[in-house]
A and B are shown apart, each in its own frame.
Chain A
Amino acid sequence: MEEIKSFKDLDREVVEKGICGKCGGCVSFCSAGELNALEMTENDMPRYINEDNCQKCGICYMICPQTGTLNVELQEKFGWKPPIGDYQKVTSAQTTDKKIRKICTDGGVVTSLLLYLLERNLINGAIVSKKAGRFTRKAVIARTREDLIEAAGSTFSGSLHLEELGGKYTTYTPILSTVKSLEKRYLQDVAVVGTPCQINAIRKMQCLGIIPAHLIKFTIGLFCIENFSFDDVARERLEKKLDINLESIVKLNIKDDFIITMTSGVTIHVPLEEIDDVARTACFACQDFSNEYADISVGGLGSPDGYTTTLLRTKLGSSVYDEALHRGYIQERTFEDSEESKLEKTKMMAKIVSYSRRKRMRAEKKLSKLAGGEMLGEKN
């Protein structure tokens, strides 16, 4: 029988090649099972704590979003179809809660959906990220309305958090390492808000029926072009290029372009191409923009200010959205007539599809380059 691929292979094929998305899936599984073989480094990269503890079970390799081991199974399970995966409906919505509207990134749909799930006891916790300092974010478990509101804001726009780690800034929040501690807190049903790579790893774990993903009942996926990791060099380069001081940023958002809101209230729009050079290289190998396996995918793209573009994907996603709408947690954008509604929705979809294509093409290019490099390496 073929040798089971273990973390050694994962390290060689993904981490060393620079395409690890830092989703934390491998580490969260390994620590949830108390196998104690893996940990996250300070830079959120997985590594062996102690190789002797590795049982060579092969599960970390299987659930990694970058190895593709379970891709076909996942596609079949979720009825994936091009170009953006399966979905039931696309809509533009916003929260009805004034307090949430004030602090949210787009329309506050994520906070309101989580609030609905919590208040109806459909979940007893949600993993979200929260501001821990001026540029620092960390993953927390929200169990009450207050927790959620405290965590709301650019938090949920996914690619937009700034996290200070050592001398580095990153826009990414590691959520999956929080999942491992869930059972100890007696949480049974949890919702997770995550980037496509995070949701992908969760879905793969659920395909296998393994811990800790068995606790996750609902997934909200964020649209994601890329996350940014600003080391000192990149940071300096960006500051120079845009002629701003990163310290004076209050809010980041991505819609048609990269939107930076400064403390002075000034908003700067930067074409996405111009900031590609500070994005994490792993993101260039990711093919999923619209979070194709989430129950509900959300983002600002395609909606006017104050609204969230919402893709209802799974049956569960649709029913939760419909109930939250019915119970008045959220409201949909109104249109003059059905013609306008149709037109706007077509425009929304066109944008999502075009961003998805862009990301997919970029990933294909990157991956084929990597494959080419490997061939060259073999020749040497």
Chain B
Amino acid sequence: MERKTKAALVIGGGIAGIQAALDLGDMGIEVHLIEKKPSIGGRMAQLDKTFPTNDCSICILSPKLADCFRHPNITLHTLSEVKGVTGQRGDFTVKLRKYARFVDEEKCVNCGDCAAKCPVKVPDEFDLKLRKREAVYPYYLQGVPAVMTIDRENCLYLTRGVCKICEKFCTREAINFEQKDTDVTLDVGAIIVATGFDPYDPSGIPEYGYKRYRNVITSLEYERLICASGPTGGHLLRPSDDKPAAKLAFVQCVGSRDLKNNRYCSTVCCMHATKEAMLAYEHNPRVKSYIFYMDLRAAGKGFQEYVSRGEQEYSISYIRGRVAKITEDHNESPIVWYEETQSSKTEKLTADLAVLATSLMPRRDVEELGKVLGVELDEYNFFKTDPLNPLDTTRPGIFVCGCCREPTDIPKSVTQASGAAERAAETMMR
């Protein structure tokens, strides 16, 4: 009997979705990879380095981005959203909304002449609003596809009918304001969901003073600050006065293991705090870091050794105690108040910068996606799975991997992605 080979759909162009798409593509299966943002890469592209090897994140991600882009079996759909899914395992009909980029992907060479002339300045989402960008912009420097995008919310032509300066300066004639949003229908046999996470907003814990104190930042903001392609060119400078930060306080479990917020452990924070402290030390050996933790969770290949290296070689002090509150001194230096649980004493520590290890949470719009896909979410809004079928959602033929399933580090996301790809392929070959 002739085997029915359909295409597969992967939702989410982060490291998990990319790996799943590559694996399926390599098996000879046609894949549609859907990404809401203008470029694929996801959260991993925002990180400076990865634990436990301290590899440059974008350096190990970039080859995969390029592979995805060039793969004969993978079709990228950026600026796209899934609007409807009907059918069943082996025979789904997916409605896709593709939003106009207003830039011709075939013509644009990413030279940046348009952005250099665009008069609009808005906070850059990729750099967590730590810098401003133009209304015509590359989502990030190494983004794939490597083309510009016009931000319809802020473009003066699209909002007010004036300007069009970019069009006049584009020598490739790649700017196209005539582009329209389009609806596409895809027939697929299986779906993999890999939509990732959003970080917890620590304004929800007012005692930590996030947004009130300028030198209290989140881990993801820290990743951008210490990244060479980030808003400060990799210099770890205090937001309040642009002075180098030499004494760092890492506050763990911000929004995680917290009865008022998320009860679960976000699993990656002990390790990324260790990594972030190491990076600061590598930039400047006079940096002294303190990591305030409840329990140090180093369960993973090479993780415990990584923590030991942090203590021995990178001058990191691990202090067991949950931070009660953060105040600031006259220099706007954060003062971290905590109970040192080994001595049961209340102590304080003044640092140059406090870094909040914010919880990994389901995407804010995940409920809508859950409804569109017709799958159940768990009590925290992660995709519901079964312990013995850990990559299957509640709807047959739809699989899940990475941080939309539960907080997951990069190696495990990749592992799950390969597993989900195999599950999807199996479904389609049936």
Contacts and interface: CB of A to CB of B under 8 A. Distances in A.
Q: Do A and B bind each other?
A: yes
Interface of A: 1-2, 4, 29, 32-35, 55, 57-59, 62, 121, 208-211, 214
Contacts of B156: 59, 208, 210
A57 B332 CA distance: 43
Contact of A210 (B119, B161, B164, B332): B119
Given A32-B119, A59-B156, A121-B332, 9 more contacts: A2-B161, A4-B164, A55-B168, A57-B164, A58-B162, A59-B162, A208-B160, A210-B119, A214-B132
Given A59-B156, A121-B241, A209 B121 contact: yes
A372 B119 CA distance: 37
Given A59-B156, A121-B240, A209-B154, A214 B121 contact: yes
Contact of A58 (B122, B135, B163): B163
A34 B165 CA distance: 12
A364 to B, nearest CB: 28
A260 to B, nearest CB: 43
Nearest to A214: B121
A62 B162 contact: yes
A121 B117 CA distance: 30
23 contacts: A1-B161, A2-B161, A4-B161, A29-B119, A33-B117, A33-B119, A34-B117, A35-B117, A55-B165, A57-B119, A57-B163, A58-B163, A59-B162, A59-B163, A62-B160, A121-B240, A209-B120, A209-B121, A209-B135, A209-B154, A210-B119, A211-B121, A214-B121
A121 B240 CA distance: 7
Contacts of A59: 119, 156, 162-163
B120 A210 contact: yes
Interface string B159-182: 011111100100000000000000
Nearest to B169: A55
Contacts of A1: 161
A32 B119 CA distance: 8
Nearest to B240: A121
Contacts of B164: 4, 55, 57
B162 A4 contact: yes
A208 B240 contact: no
A197 B333 CA distance: 39
Interface string B109-129: 000000001011110000000
B322 to A, nearest CB: 31
A62 B163 CA distance: 10
Size bracket of the B interface:
10 to 19
A121 B328 CA distance: 15
A33 B165 contact: yes
Contacts of B165: 33, 35, 55, 57
A32 to B, nearest CB: 8
A208 B161 contact: no
Nearest to A208: B156
B156 to A, nearest CB: 6
A27 to B, nearest CB: 14
B82 to A, nearest CB: 31
A150 to B, nearest CB: 23
Contacts of A33: 117, 119, 165
A121 B238 CA distance: 11
Contacts of A208: 119-120, 156, 160
From B119, B121, B135, B163, residue with most partner A Cβ within 10 Å: B119
Nearest to B121: A214
A47 B122 CA distance: 29
A121 B154 CA distance: 29
Nearest to A121: B241
Contacts of B161: 1-2, 4
B162 to A, nearest CB: 4
Nearest to A188: B242
Given A55-B168, A121-B240, A121-B241, A209 B122 contact: yes
A29 B121 CA distance: 13
A150 B135 CA distance: 39
Contacts of A4: 161-162, 164
B119 to A, nearest CB: 4
A67 to B, nearest CB: 12
A34 B156 CA distance: 18
A210 B178 CA distance: 23
Given A55-B165, A55-B168, A210 B121 contact: yes
A248 B74 CA distance: 81
A102 B152 CA distance: 52
A337 to B, nearest CB: 35
A105 B121 CA distance: 36
A123 to B, nearest CB: 12
A122 to B, nearest CB: 9
B253 to A, nearest CB: 31
A19 B241 CA distance: 42
10 A-B pairs with least C-beta separation: A58-B162, A214-B121, A210-B119, A57-B163, A121-B241, A33-B119, A209-B120, A57-B165, A211-B119, A55-B168
Contacts of B241: 121
A59 B132 CA distance: 20
Contacts of A121: 240-241, 332
Contacts of B160: 62, 208
Nearest to B122: A209
Contacts of A209: 120-122, 135, 154
A310 B132 CA distance: 32
B162 A57 contact: yes
A62 B122 CA distance: 19
Contacts of B163: 57-59
Contacts of B240: 121
A32 B117 CA distance: 10
Nearest to A58: B162
A211 B118 CA distance: 9
Contacts of A32: 119
A6 to B, nearest CB: 10
A9 B227 CA distance: 47
A35 B241 CA distance: 33
A84 to B, nearest CB: 28
A189 to B, nearest CB: 11
A209 B123 CA distance: 10
B178 to A, nearest CB: 12
Contacts of B122: 209
Contacts of A57: 119, 162-165
A196 to B, nearest CB: 24
Contacts of B119: 29, 32-33, 57, 59, 208, 210-211
B121 to A, nearest CB: 4
A46 B273 CA distance: 55
Interface string B131-155: 0100100000000000000000010
A121 B242 CA distance: 9
A266 B241 CA distance: 47
A217 B189 CA distance: 54
B151 to A, nearest CB: 11
Contacts of A55: 164-165, 168
B352 to A, nearest CB: 14
Contacts of B162: 4, 57-59, 62
A72 to B, nearest CB: 13
A62 B185 CA distance: 42
